[in-house]
A and B are shown apart, each in its own frame.
Chain A
Amino acid sequence: MNTIAPNPKRPWLSHPRIRKVIVPAAIAVILLLLWQAVVTAGKVPEYIFPSPLVTLNTLYEDWGLLGPSLLFTLKITLLSFLMATVVGCGIAFLFVQSRAIETAFFPYAVLLQVTPIVAIAPLIIIWIDNTVLALVVCSTLVALFPIISNTTLGLRSVSPNLLAYFKLRQASRLQVLWRLRIPSALPYFFAALKIASGLSLVGAVVAEFVAGTGGSNTGLAYQILQSGYQLNIPRMFAALILISLTGVVLFIAMSILSKLAIGHWHESEN
């Protein structure tokens, strides 16, 4: 005789969504506790390696300095991320129109990717008077390649049968692009956004290091440099933590955006 076992209530911790948040958060807490314990037990001076509590305290006390710097770095990051997205998608659309265009220009896109930004940033800063614009351009160059590369790949990765189907229905190039290529490319595009958002931040910080600007245009990189000169290591750690948290928040934002846009149909978001 077949009997159906009663379905036991699922433990709340086994829920995938909760696990996705709880597990990394638990690891973060453990690492912070370990960090605090090592520094306290070893009596490590704060100008060598500040504890999490000291860093947190510095973050609170120096917020008047660090807050505006965070906003400045965020402004450069978001502007360059937006610019990289717009320019990258434009170039990808152009590449998909013809293999000849792609073959002719793709090596130059690769050139942008492989040239270290620290090597060309001084030139860009000399050429462009406006510091904010110069930093945005530097950061855009860092974030651009994944958008071009992934979006081009996505626009080309269309099911051959669906493409044949659109051909049979005598669809125009615009219809194929709008109704088939763009939706097919979305998973690739959102993967690129996740990478590019982090690279925009890296680009912004590196460009700030090279520019080394003072006055009102001071980002977190400048605060790190200054803290280094003044041996204010807790502030350096506080600035570093702000940069890391910004990167994590950007990644989470892109993941949520991706989930909202393609989560209902694409398996990568399940």
Chain B
Amino acid sequence: MSINAVIKAFDHSEQMLEEHPQNDGVAPAIELLSTDKVYNNGTRALLPVDLKIKQGEFVTLLGPSGCGKSTLLKMVAGLEEPSDGRLLLWRKPINQLANNGRTLSFVFQEASLMAWHSVRKNVRLALELEGVKGKEADERVEKVLKLVGLEKFSEALPKELSGGMQMRVSIARGLVIKPDLLLMDEPFGALDEITRYKLDSDLLDLWQRNGLTVIFVTHSIHEAVFLSQRVIVMAARPGRVVADIKIEEPFPRKAEFRMQPRFTEYAMQLHDCLVSASTEDEL
């Protein structure tokens, strides 16, 4: 096959994608088409992944350490280049995201705040880098701090806040630019269980109110069940997707959901998936 023929086929596939959205009528926000990742030292971080995530969906990537879930998330953010395959955000390559009028935010595992700035300035910086200044920036910062319950701490320095509060600042920094897509890499992994449960509920509330598309990385089965509409189960060595499980529980989800038999059933299903994938590795 000549190079021209390959390019033609590639253009055709892109045209087909634009002309024919998914059958259920909701256009996918994210599409990974045989996307894989091999690092320069030859380590295969991720086998080819095919995945579509709809606009407004809350999807969790669940798996053990080293299964490539963070790599996958970073590829979606454009922080890592895929080695092969295609990755489209709203039907366009990631470098055209701004042209699409879309924005994404990334919340890291650590709050990663600027220690020398107050809470308000940390959040405001995101807007200043986008070119939003003056009164509009002030109003948006105030609104988002209220949303995460930190309006009284706007002048505090990060070191004066608890771990949970710092993470709220990090989320506020992510939300202030009004993203279409929120990517979260084990954001609550370092927090105690009570704070974590509270932030899980707050996150669901924010997701529903703002119509975000969220990809959430965790290695906690219970967190995945509580938060997600879909859980993508991944396995390690090499990193790969092994299952795509729907959590068909209506929203809003209250804390009581964690006590219900359905919750345990979903948790068991995910647990079995993870165990069978790791058993395959050992064999």
Interface residues on B, range: 20 to 34
Does B207 reach chain A (CB closer than 8 Å)? no
Given A168-B78, A168-B79, A265-B157, is A179 in contact with B125 using a C-beta cutoff of 8 Å?
yes
- The answer to whether residues A169 and B129 also contact, given A164-B79, A265-B157, A265-B159 and a CB cut-off of 8 A, is yes
A180–B110 Cα gap in the complex (Å)?
17
Q: How long is the Cα–Cα vector from A255 to B115 in the complex, in angstroms?
A: 20
**How would residues 67 to 111 of chain B score, 1 for a CB under 8 Å from any chain A CB and 0 otherwise?**
000000000011100000000000000000010000011101110
Partner of A169, one of B110, B114, B126, B159: B126
Query: Across the interface, do A168 and B106 meet the contact criterion of CB distance under 8 Å?
Result: yes
Evaluate whether A171 and B116 lie within 8 angstroms (CB atoms) in the complex, with A164-B106, A165-B106, A265-B157 already known: no
Nearest Cβ in chain A — how far from B189, in angstroms? 14
Complex Cα gap A167–B79 (Å) = 8
A168–B116 alpha-carbon span in the complex (Å): 21
> Do A265 and B98 contact each other (CB < 8 Å), given the known contacts A161-B110, A169-B126, A179-B125?
no
Q: Is B280 an interface residue (CB 8 A)?
A: no
Tell me the number of A-to-B contacts counted with CB atoms below 8 Å: 44
Nearest CB in chain B: distance from A175 CB, A:
7
- Asked whether, in the complex, the Cβ of A168 is within 8 Å of the Cβ of B112, the reply is no
Whether a CB of chain B sits under 8 angstroms from the CB of A216 is no
How far is B113's CA from A159's CA once the two chains are assembled, in angstroms? 9
Most buried by A among B78, B104, B110, B116: B116
Beyond the given A186-B116, A266-B116, please list 17 additional residue pairs across the A-B interface where CB-CB is below 8 A.
A159-B112, A161-B109, A161-B110, A162-B112, A164-B79, A168-B104, A168-B105, A168-B106, A169-B126, A169-B129, A169-B177, A170-B98, A183-B114, A264-B157, A265-B157, A265-B159, A267-B159
Q: List 9 A-B contacts (CB under 8 A).
A: A161-B109, A162-B112, A165-B108, A169-B130, A169-B177, A262-B116, A264-B157, A265-B116, A265-B157
A-B pairs, 7 with minimum CB distance: A161-B112, A169-B129, A161-B108, A265-B116, A265-B115, A183-B116, A171-B129
